[in-house]
Structure 1
Amino acid sequence: MMKSAIVKKTLITAAVTVVAATVVSEWSTLQAKAPRVIAKISDAVRTNNYPDVGSLHGEAAILIDERTGKPLFVKNERKRLYPASTTKMLTALIALEKADTNEIVTVGDEVMQQQSDESSAGLVPGQQLSLYDLIAAMMLPSGNDAARTVARFIAEKETGQLLTPDESMKIFAGMMNERAKELGATESHFVNSHGLHDPDHYTTAADLALIARKARKNSVLREIVNESEHHIQDVSDQAVAANADEQIYVNRNKLLQPSSGYYFSGANGMKTGYTSAAGYCLVASAKRGDRGYIAVILKSSSADVWLDATKLLQYGFDNQQNDGYL
């Protein structure tokens, strides 16, 4: 046993001697390379001089300061991915820029294009509701039917013509692309108002952050996406006569729901999204005091998308002294 220990000690000493000799002989080379090595290590664990946010499941993500628009954390933020129903932020923004929230909208046959497996607000032809309620029906339960009705209403209002569902969607998509470019979201392309999968309907996390930041400047939209639930009024004669004029929509954003298990203090929006091609997507916003942040996560999983958002938003608040707030 003693002989074995002596042999091990001798081998270790020899190894240390070899390493030491190598370090001494290559010292000048190591000194020259050290700054590059340190820089690479720093790049791997921080972004923009911030501590690491931790691992994210989402394929792409970005965190921005809502006030300044400054990116605080990025991951594949320029990668082209599918937005799913986060698309509806731009739909809502355009609608609120083009029409008054008190205008009454009549639901048409565009809602009959609904597919069995897509999200719905349960709208039916002939139903009448305010644009405010229609946008809530689109944003909270993520009703694709509501998004189709919004697109048709705004397209007909813009053109002054009666349009078919397909005609109105094509015109509205053109409006979406034009508005996106005005906002600097130049790496996106939209073909519909709801976000159902189409290979030509895509965006990036960075572009969605730009759209979200602009959307949050609209007080009506801020109010809607901050609601945990919304009561809508169908003002059509048949609904009132049947005493079936009220519906309640629950917000799918679990960061806003205290009993969800994912509640985040200060959360105030914005939009969820999912398709099989897009994965689980989320644009999340939060504000505490005078500090506000917007996080975008694309192509995550059903549970991890909430954890990803929580990590990003908490990261913003934890590092607020670096944002010029303190």
Structure 2
Amino acid sequence: MILKQIITKGLITTILCSCINCTSYVEKYKQDAYSKSKFKEILKETKLVSDKDLNSKYYKYLEKINFTNEADYRSNQESFENEYTKNHGLLEASSGILVDTDKMEIIYAQNALADRAPASTTKLLTAITALEFLDLDTPLKVGCERDFIARDSSVCGIKKGDMVTVNDLLHGLLIKSGNDAAYTLACYAGMYIYNNTYIPFNENKLDGKYLLPDTYNYSEKDAVKYISTFINFMNINVRIMGCETAKFSTPDGYDDKHQRVTAIDLAKICVCAKQNKTISEICNKTTYHCESLDKTWISTNELMDKETEYYNPNVDGLKTGTTDDAGMCFVSSAHNNNTHLVSVILGGDTESRWSETNKLLDIGFQY
């Protein structure tokens, strides 16, 4: 992952203007442990980070991702897709895309500009954003943000009061697909961003008084404030990556009407994730044992499981996702000799996301 300092405050201001309204972020909690009305009350009394408060020296950004034939695809989508399907047939999934990341070229696309729910593929962006502000060895204490996840969430099993390192949380996030890990990472990274906005301290990592025991006793109001701030930066990051319409309103990808992404934008997020050595290495693991919790997490990626019919030895990541709105989603990375690919499947069913990913990868390796 290549990080650079943002040079002008104007960039932050421009991007923040396109970020989600934090009120929409609160709406998802209507089925959670706390009532919708309580979160609205908390948010109304909360001072959120705004563009005028931001001090640009604390914020980093990612390089813009450009696919060489993206402009042509956007302006001639129908003719491009007719050619793709003529040669390779249609996908059963709602949307899909295949990109050669060496040439940065779109090889196949179907409805790749349509807005879709991202489900847990969102967690790649959560990891990218968290790693801008948190060190892997930093221990974090799970707090009240654990109660914010939806009751039917996928979890890695952390509990309030657990002390877990950022590294362990990232494994729980990306291998086990834990929504609980997503909220704890978002809360602490958001705490760093929020506190740095008003109280300058070490700009390289979260430390000092913000990791003293008192910091672990933050209130629900503070947690909402920190997570909302983090989500703003998720949206800043996707704009900088070159994602034109992507909008995120949760750190875990749980269904929300304001949360949408296109296959082409999600492919850019995947490219950025693969450029990050930590994320790439975690997503390439099939299991991980968290010693502090004595838990073993098993990857949800069936293309990396030798015991399944879909096993593909070329696949080295990335992330699954499933919700009612999104359907069955899967973003993958694979390599064979000198060819490196990223594929995206959105809105598939249980089996088709695996078989159709293998279909796309075969197209890419024969291209």
**Superposition TM-score tier, normalisation by shorter sequence:** 0.7 to 0.9
Shift in Å at residue 192 of structure 1?
Answer: 0.9
CA offsets 1:157-194 (integer angstroms, 9 cap, x no match)? 12227563322221111000000000001211011100
CA offsets 1:128-173 (integer angstroms, 9 cap, x no match)? 1211110110111110000001100100112227563322221111
Answer whether contact 2:100 2:341 (CA < 8 A) is retained: yes
The equivalent of 2:270 in structure 1 is 212
Say which one has the larger Rg.
1
Shift in Å at residue 44 of structure 1?
Answer: 6.7
Q: 1:215 to 1:43 in 2, by over 3 A?
A: closer
> Which residue identity lines up with residue 184 of structure 1 in the other structure?
G
Residue among 210, 222, 231 paired with 2:280: 222
Q: Does 2:344 match 1:296?
A: yes
> How many angstroms apart in 1 are the aligned matches of 2:81 and 2:235?
35
The equivalent of 1:67 in structure 2 is 102
> Which residue identity lines up with residue 53 of structure 1 in the other structure?
H
Q: Does 2:327 match 1:279?
A: yes
Within-5 A mapping of 1:1-326: 46-47=83-84, 52-160=87-195, 164-234=222-292, 245-319=293-367
Shift in Å at residue 67 of structure 1?
Answer: 2.0
CA offsets 1:207-258 (integer angstroms, 9 cap, x no match)? 0001110110011111000000011132xxxxxxxxxx42100000111111
Tell me, what secondary structure is at the counterpart of 1:98?
Answer: coil
CA RMSD between the two structures = 1.8
CA offsets 1:256-296 (integer angstroms, 9 cap, x no match)? 11112211121011010011111111101111122110000
Answer whether contact 1:69 1:213 (CA < 8 A) is retained: no
Q: 1:133 to 1:200 in 2, by over 3 A?
A: same
What are the ranges of 5 or more consecutive residues in structure 1 without an aligned counterpart? Answer: 1-40, 235-244, 320-326
> Which residue identity lines up with residue 185 of structure 2 in the other structure?
V
> Which residue identity lines up with residue 218 of structure 1 in the other structure?
N
> Which residue identity lines up with residue 277 of structure 1 in the other structure?
D
Tell me, what secondary structure is at the counterpart of 1:249?
Answer: strand
Shift in Å at residue 45 of structure 1?
Answer: 5.5
Q: 1:134 to 1:44 in 2, by over 3 A?
A: closer
> Which residue identity lines up with residue 108 of structure 1 in the other structure?
G
> How many angstroms apart in 2 are the aligned matches of 1:71 and 1:78?
13
71-80 or 103-112, which moves further after superposition? 103-112
Answer whether contact 1:129 1:233 (CA < 8 A) is retained: no
What are the ranges of 5 or more consecutive residues in structure 2 without an aligned counterpart? Answer: 1-77, 196-209, 211-217
Shift in Å at residue 107 of structure 1?
Answer: 1.0
113-122 or 194-203, which moves further after superposition? 113-122
> Which residue identity lines up with residue 208 of structure 1 in the other structure?
L
> How many angstroms apart in 1 are the aligned matches of 2:102 and 2:345?
19
> What TM-score results when the alignment is normalised by the length of structure 1?
0.78
> How many angstroms apart in 1 are the aligned matches of 2:316 and 2:294?
25
Q: 1:44 to 1:207 in 2, by over 3 A?
A: closer
> How many angstroms apart in 2 are the aligned matches of 1:44 and 1:81?
18
Runs of at least 4 residues of structure 1 off by over 3 A?
41-45
Q: 1:44 to 1:164 in 2, by over 3 A?
A: closer
> How many angstroms apart in 2 are the aligned matches of 1:203 and 1:233?
35
